[in-house]
Every structure is written in structure tokens, then in C-alpha cells.
Homo-oligomer: A and B are copies of this chain.
Amino acid sequence: MTDDLAVATSTDSAPRHLAPGDVGLVSPRDFVHAAPFTFKSGQTISGFTLRYETYGRPNATRDNAVLICHALSGDHHCAGWHSPNDKKPGWWNNLIGPGKAVDTNRFFVVCANVLGGCQGSTGPSSINPDTGRPYGIAFPFVTIRDMVRSQKMLLDHLGVTELHGVIGGSMGGMQALLFAIEYPHFTRRVLAMATTGRESAQAIAFNEVGRQAIMQDPAWNHGDYPREGGPRVGLAIARMMAHITYVSDASMDRKFGRKKKETAAGDAYTFDMQFEVESYLRHQGQSFINRFDANSYLYITRALDQFDLAQAYGSLEAAFAPVEADTLVVGFTSDWLFPPEQNRALALALLRAGRRASYAELSTDLGHDSFLLESEQLYTLVRGFLERDQLYTFDYAI
């Protein structure tokens, strides 16, 4: 998920957190599960914390919750501002707020940092109570199902009786689909975007190169590094490469083309930054290492690699057989990480399994991160899906 290609920021002089449609100032909270939790791998931890935010209010029957699931490098802060001085709002602020596509006047919106993450939820950078030191790679292997199970515990804790909807892009879409599969009576609507039923060989390959960049950095030290240190070089390289896969050739060409830095000479007779795209990528790498833990990156990419609904349940149709939710899958034409075909295949398998499913394909040129784009067409889709009663049609390529 990129930092800045698609997130809206207001440019007028009024305090941005007071703008109409904005959820305003928000504070994260911690859900502490103070009992053992056994991962799909069979490994157990004595308890965990999920850091989360909520926007809007639960209704009397507590069945108006919409869960937002984040992607690999995202977090629980998907809307509003932590402080009036923040440079940016939450990462899906354009979609979520009073009167917006995910309308916080109607819905109780919940978003948690995933288990295995590093933004406040328990993960490899958390202190292992058995040793008093960070878990490092002694942390249990995490799967998308573990992420989903722990978030279900959070929703139970919040008294949510039924999920009005669950929404996510990329890895968030995988979680959304698993909610419908694992908690069919609980999950009424699933909106999965820019996602897949299984990581392709190419996606695994990119993840593997990123992991190698981290693990071959001497500062990784088999996962044992101080909180402020660690394999910053390897993590930056992993992020720079991954970032290329989140955007598109067309969007990079439009934004940067072959433009050179102002300080650069006519020809690139240097290995220093010369082209603007180089400077942009290095910035992506550097800003990422200040907010993300390298071990979390290893764990979460491995969770992505392992995700394979057909393998886990016998077939895609078998995976989807228990689903009761209405499902909308959205693919983006320029997404080459989880291309439209992979999204369409999910909707078709849901239909073959006799479920209610829709597929929409949006023409964009922003690549994988298109699910974050400012698009009235996307907003209309999301709003319509959350607010209408039921779907029965297969809306191909609206």
C-alpha cells in the first residue's frame, strides 16, 4: 500500500479534521485478549493485544458494524486524525466518514491492526513474556485465518452481534473473504477489492526477494535486533521493490516519466539519484523503515504466500459453500499484482457455489493501489453495496 498516491488531503485553510465528512480526531484503543491463543500452525501465545479504532456508534442491536481490514503495510488508523497537526489522515479517510461511502452516521466502523503487525498489535516486535525480550522469529507463524480469528474476538468483545459488512483491499480482501467462510452466520456483506484467492508464483517471488533482502542484511541477525535498529537497509529495499508492484507502469510514467531531479545534469553520469522516480522510491523505502518492523514484514508476507483458499478447503467452490453473505468483488484493470482475472474468478466461484455475488471491474491506471483511489464510481459501488438490501445480479464490468 503506497503512502501518498491516492490519499486525499484537504488544502484549504480550515482545520482539516473539522471538514464536513471527516470523522475528526480519533484515538486508538487496545483490546487485550488475556488468554492463550493457538495459531493455525499449532503454536500458542499466552495472550495478545489488538490495537484498533472505531468511528460512528453501534446501534441498539449492535448489528451495524462494518469491519475494515488493512493490507500488508497498513494499520488500524484508517480514518480521521490523531492530532490536528498530522500531515495525513487515516489511510482510507476518503472512503469513511459521516455521509461518505462508508457512512459513519449509519455504521459502527471498526479497524484493527492485524495480529503479527507492528503498529500496536501483538507481533514479533512485541515483548515475549517468557523472555522479557521481543519475540523476533520465535513469534508463531501467522496466517490470514489467525488474523481473522483474532479480529472476531475483538468484535465479540465490542458486543457486535452481526457484521453488517466487512471491507478490505489486497490482504484486507483475503480477510474479508475468510470472514464470510469462517463466520457465515455472522457476516452479512463482504466487499473484497484488488485481491485473490491465492498468491500467484509471481507474487510469492516478489515476497521472497523482499524477505531475502531483509534476512541477508547482517543487521537482521536472525530476527534479533533492537527496536530502533534492525535491517533497515534490507527493509527499505524490500519496500522499494514492493512499491513498484503496487502502482503501474502508466501511473509511474504519468507521475515521473523520465523527469530528472532539478539538481541533475543533462545525462545520468552518476549512480546517485538522477531521475525523480529514483528519489520517490528511496523516499518510500526510508519512510517505511521508520514505521514498520522487518520481522513483521517477514511474517505478513509469509501469511500472504500461504493464502490459498482452494488448497485449504479442497476447491474454491467448497471454500465458498458455507458463505451466507452477499459478496461484491472489485477488480481494477491496471492491477498486475492481483489482476482483474483473479478477482473475477472469486466472484465466479461464489456464483458456482450458489452464493450471491457480484463482480465489478473498474478501469484505472493506478495499479494495485487503485482500491485507495478517489473515485466517485468506487464510492457509489461501496455505498450501494452497504446500503441496499440484497444483490442478486452479476454486474460484470460496470
Return A10 CB to nearest CB of chain B, in Å. Answer: 28
Alpha-carbon separation in the docked complex, A90 to B314 (Å): 45
Number of interface residues of A (CB under 8 A): 55
Return A73 CB to nearest CB of chain B, in Å. Answer: 16
CB-defined contacts of A209 to chain B, threshold 8 Å = 237, 240-241, 244, 281
A267 touches B41 (CB 8 A): yes
* Residue of A41, A201, A252, A339 with most partner-chain B CB within 10 A: A201
Cβ of A396 under 8 Å from chain B: no
B255 touches A201 (CB 8 A): yes
Cβ of A208 under 8 Å from chain B: yes
Known A205-B277, A209-B241, A302-B268; contact A308-B141, beta-carbon cutoff 8 A: no
CB-defined contacts of A373 to chain B, threshold 8 Å = none
Cβ of A206 under 8 Å from chain B: yes
The interface stretch among A64-72, A74-82, A172-180, A210-218 is A210-218
Q: Secondary structure of the A side of the interface?
A: helix
Cβ of A153 under 8 Å from chain B: no
A204 touches B277 (CB 8 A): yes
* Residue of A137, A206, A271, A282 with most partner-chain B CB within 10 A: A271
A202 touches B244 (CB 8 A): yes
Stoichiometry, as copies per complex, reads: 2
Residue-wise interface mask of A (176-216) relative to B, using a CB-CB cutoff of 8 A (1 in contact, 0 not): 00000000000000000000001111101110110111011
Choose one: B200, B212, B339; the contact of A237 (CB below 8 Å): B212
Cβ of A392 under 8 Å from chain B: no
A244 touches B41 (CB 8 A): no
Residue-wise interface mask of A (215-246) relative to B, using a CB-CB cutoff of 8 A (1 in contact, 0 not): 11010000000000000010011001100100
B271 touches A201 (CB 8 A): no
Choose one: B201, B206, B298; the contact of A256 (CB below 8 Å): B201
Task: Tell me the A131-177 residues at the B interface (CB within 8 Å).
Answer: 137, 141, 143
Return A200 CB to nearest CB of chain B, in Å. Answer: 6
B213 touches A237 (CB 8 A): yes
Known A267-B41, A271-B137; contact A204-B278, beta-carbon cutoff 8 A: yes
Return A37 CB to nearest CB of chain B, in Å. Answer: 16
Known A218-B218, A268-B302, A269-B141; contact A275-B212, beta-carbon cutoff 8 A: no
CB-defined contacts of A237 to chain B, threshold 8 Å = 209, 212-213, 216, 237
Return A260 CB to nearest CB of chain B, in Å. Answer: 10
B206 touches A244 (CB 8 A): yes
A278 touches B241 (CB 8 A): no
A211 touches B271 (CB 8 A): yes
CB-defined contacts of A255 to chain B, threshold 8 Å = 201
B302 touches A202 (CB 8 A): no
A201 touches B233 (CB 8 A): no
A212 touches B282 (CB 8 A): yes
Cβ of A38 under 8 Å from chain B: no
Return A269 CB to nearest CB of chain B, in Å. Answer: 4
18 A-B residue pairings within 8 Å (CB atoms) = A137-B271, A198-B258, A199-B258, A201-B252, A202-B249, A204-B258, A205-B252, A205-B277, A205-B278, A206-B241, A206-B244, A208-B240, A209-B241, A211-B271, A215-B271, A216-B236, A216-B237, A218-B218
Give me the interface of A with B, judged by CB distance under 8 Å. Answer: 40-41, 137, 141, 143, 198-202, 204-206, 208-209, 211-213, 215-216, 218, 233, 236-237, 240-241, 244, 248-249, 252-253, 255-258, 267-271, 274-275, 277-278, 281-282, 285, 298, 302, 305-306, 308, 311, 336, 339
19 additional A-B residue pairs with CB within 8 Å, beyond A241-B241, A275-B305: A137-B271, A141-B269, A141-B270, A200-B252, A201-B255, A202-B252, A202-B253, A205-B244, A205-B281, A208-B281, A209-B237, A209-B240, A209-B244, A209-B281, A212-B285, A216-B237, A218-B218, A249-B339, A268-B302
